[in-house]
Amino acid sequence: MSKLLEIDDVAVSLGGVRVLDGVTASADAGRFVGLVGPNGAGKTTLLRALNGALTPDRGEVRVAGETITGLSAKAVGRHVATVPQDTSLAFDFTVRQTVEMGRTPYLSRFGGMRGEDHDAVDRAMERTDVTQFADRSVTAVSGGERQRVLLARALAQDTPLLLLDEPTASLDINHQVRTLELVRDLVDDGKTVVAAIHDLNLAAHYCDDLLLLGDGSVLAAGDPASVLTEETLERAFGANAVVSKHPVTGSVYVTALPEQRATGDAEGRVHVVGGGGSAARYLYLLSAAGYEVSVGALNEGDSDTETARQLGLDVVTVDPFAPVDAAARETVIDHVERADATLVVDVEVGEGNVANLEAARAADELVLVETRPFAERNYAGESAARIYDGLRSHATTVAPDAVLGAVTDAVERGRRSGVSAETDD
């Protein structure tokens, strides 16, 4: 692949303060590069250097072989398009007029829009699904819709490089996913994109490569798995984090541990019901927090089994591909009864592992993780659905990011009730 973007030893100072210092990186054509790092790391400043808004004190930026600082403003506009973080617009143009501004680098001083310019605007609006808003004032559309309008304006520029500054910062989760899915499609069709993204998990899921900045320098660069390690996150953010794989997407997934748990001083016992890799990140998370963790029943050879053993956890197992039999079920019930809390992750359930759900009914304190309805992962029929509904009726049901807090609360309740029971005896 050719190097569409080359950043060579770039240094930038603002107000006498060095913001970027010796940044060197590159991007191949047709790649999605995420700029990540803590606030003040220099992400927005780097984007401004890439589009020529800032002239580096040292070094240079080249796009498609052209040095950006050596080009006229119109020439830069034919090489680089930018979608800013702030989507608020003061002027009262229509959506179509706003998108047409993307053709400015191609228009002569006194010339109007030509057929090819109108065609480029039509394609950009259709691609971003804003054609239906064409005659509406750009100030009258929603934030998510306005984000797509500005993306359409950038696409109308027809540049080899597209820059986005925090494209999901002010959007709800639905519009975040919709925006990044659209950008991912553009990359898959050959566009080169560099985006500053504050959400590490979104960046890991959608980007081909990450550039991690810290104090104006490059701390790490490469694919998400090589950049988002616990060591680099500690160095860049000062965060105590667990890095695992998302159980549904398989992407790198980062979970920050609360400061009060940073030393792994949590007390209590947690049993986890999972399988097929669905529990791995939670096993890392709970183990790192300091809990005594058990898991099962799992098949030998299951990726969750391997993760548990790597962490030195107590694992209830059955033979490869074998169902959870009566003996294993009783062992799981024993673990659940001895645990202060039980965590049931969003595992797929079939005839072979429905016994784990049955065993979870012995839990006094239960936390369920849901990223999708149970009906979408239930392969054991109505009986499994009834068991799950029963569990859900007295459980705390949470999204993945809320697991640690929910388990912490459940363990504290479980330990308090255990103390009360001993006192009564």
CATH number of the domain bearing residue 375: 3.40.50.720
Residue 249 lies in a domain: no
Rounded to whole angstroms, the Cα distance separating 191 from 158 reads 10
pLDDT tens for 319-371 read 888 889 999 999 999 999 999 999 999 888 888 899 999 999 999 999 999 98
Residue 259 lies in a domain: no
Same domain, 401 and 307: yes
Give me the pLDDT at residue 262, please. Answer: 42
Same domain, 229 and 290: no
Residue 95 lies in a domain: yes
Helix (H) / strand (E) containing 189: none
Same domain, 225 and 79: yes
Residue 256 has pLDDT above 90, yes or no: no
Rounded to whole angstroms, the Cα distance separating 425 from 421 reads 6
Residue 241 lies in a domain: no
Same domain, 180 and 59: yes
Same domain, 137 and 79: yes
Q: Could you say which of 186, 220, 236 is where a domain stops?
A: 236
Q: Could you say which of 236, 253, 279 is where a domain stops?
A: 236
Residue 424 has pLDDT above 60, yes or no: no
Same domain, 219 and 99: yes
CB atoms under 10 Å from CB of 194, counted, come to: 29
Phi-psi sector, 268: left (phi>0), alpha (psi -120 to 50), beta:
left
Q: How confident is the model at residue 149 (pLDDT cuts 50, 70, 90)?
A: very high
Same domain, 139 and 37: yes
Residue 66 lies in a domain: yes
Same domain, 277 and 398: yes
Same domain, 413 and 354: yes
Q: What's the number of domains the chain is made of?
A: 2
Rounded to whole angstroms, the Cα distance separating 363 from 385 reads 18
- Quote helix, strand, coil % in the chain, to nearest 5: 40, 25, 35
Distance between first and last Cα of the chain? 73
pLDDT, mean of residues 241-248: 72
Same domain, 360 and 229: no
Same domain, 137 and 206: yes
Tell me the one-letter amino acid at 178. R
pLDDT, mean of residues 184-190: 93
DSSP 8-class letter at 322: -
Give me the pLDDT at residue 258, please. Answer: 54
pLDDT tens for 27-70 read 999 999 999 999 889 999 999 999 999 999 999 999 999 999 99
Structure tokens at 147: 């984000």
Residue 260 lies in a domain: no
The b/e string for 339-376 (b: 16+ C-beta within 10 A; e otherwise) is bbbbbbbbbbbeebbbbbbbbbebbbbbbbbbeeebee
Residue 246 lies in a domain: no
Give me the pLDDT at residue 316, please. Answer: 93
Give me the pLDDT at residue 260, please. Answer: 44
Residue 421 has pLDDT above 50, yes or no: no
Q: Could you say which of 184, 217, 236 is where a domain stops?
A: 236
Identify whether the C-beta of residue 196 lies closer than 8 Å to the C-beta of residue 164: yes
Rounded to whole angstroms, the Cα distance separating 336 from 341 reads 8
Which range marks the domain in which residue 367 is found? 269-422
Same domain, 89 and 196: yes
- Residue 110 burial by CB count (10 A; 0-12/13-18/19+): exposed, middle or buried? exposed
Which strands, in side-by-side order, build the sheet including 58-63? Answer: 17-28, 3-14, 58-63, 66-67
Query: Minimal CA–CA distance to 291: which of 247, 317, 261?
Result: 261
What CATH number does residue 232 fall under? 3.40.50.300
Query: Minimal CA–CA distance to 252: which of 233, 275, 276?
Result: 233
Rounded to whole angstroms, the Cα distance separating 164 from 415 reads 48
User: What stretches of 339-402 show up as alpha helix (H) in DSSP?
Assistant: 354-360, 382-394
Higher-confidence residue of 89 and 53: namely 53
User: What are the phi and psi torsion angles at 23 (to 5°)?
Assistant: -80, 120
Mean pLDDT of the chain: 88
Residue 256 lies in a domain: no
